[in-house]
Amino acid sequence: MTSPTMTVAELAARVGIDPSTAYRYLVAGQLPGVQVGQRWVIDRERVERFVAGKEDAAGRLLVEEPAAMAAPALTLLPERAPDGAVQALAWLRGAHAALGLLLGAAQAGDAGEEREVLRA
């Protein structure tokens, strides 16, 4: 497994320049890298994006990356699309239940409605 960072010599070889030139470019900010004390920390992925022309040496994007598509949800079995008959039966059952509630409330509230009508 490769290291997530690279040395100045590896950077110079990847870019195709002499290591002394790589040092000069790192100091000038023309190549991606961060100096920590006497050592340079160079992110391998960032160098690859720089070489590909996707970002500059400072890490600013030069090319807009397409948005990654969300992974589809994993299911054991594919979902079955409801057919028209199943949807119609479900709607009729709901309508029947609603009608039953309305009729039950109307029968129980007949005496109460007469009282409210008389009060009004």
pLDDT of residue 63: 77
pLDDT at 78 over 70: no
User: What global pTM score does this model have?
Assistant: 0.52
Domain boundaries, the chain: 5-51, 83-120
State the CATH class of domain 5-51.
mainly alpha
Candidate ranges 33-42, 84-93, 104-113; pick with highest mean pLDDT: 33-42
One-letter amino acid of 87: Q
In this predicted model, what pLDDT tens digit does every residue of 42-56 receive, in sequence order? 999 999 999 998 888
99 and 91 in contact (C-beta within 8 Å)? no
pLDDT of residue 28: 94
